[in-house]
Amino acid sequence: MDELKTEIPGEKELSIIRYLLNEIDEERAYNKAYREEYEKASTLAKEKNSFYWCFMDRKKFPHDPRNSIIKSNIKLVRRLLLKVEKEVK
């Protein structure tokens, strides 16, 4: 008896989309946490007559917020969804 092989249309693309959406969520959470830390650091810097980056934890926040990654991932998700839609039809 032969094995029944079923393939989900766009299965590979859907797993990539899940990964990209998770990355978007992580980046948005990072950006929100960065903004909150930035506000605290700015307030403290004004009190101490210094610069905000002196009071930022660079191990926790190694880079500035990156909205470009979010936008890039959204564009790629859109393209992949269109590809999956074509496969399903």
pTM of the model: 0.79
Euclidean distance between CA atoms 70 and 76, whole angstroms: 10
**Encoded tokens for 22:** 């998770």
Percent of the chain that is helix, strand, coil (3-state, to 5):
70, 0, 30
Check residue 5 and give its pLDDT: 60
**pLDDT per position in the chain (89 positions), as tens?**
556 566 777 788 999 999 999 999 999 999 999 999 999 999 989 888 888 888 888 899 999 999 999 999 999 999 999 999 888 77
Check residue 57 and give its pLDDT: 87
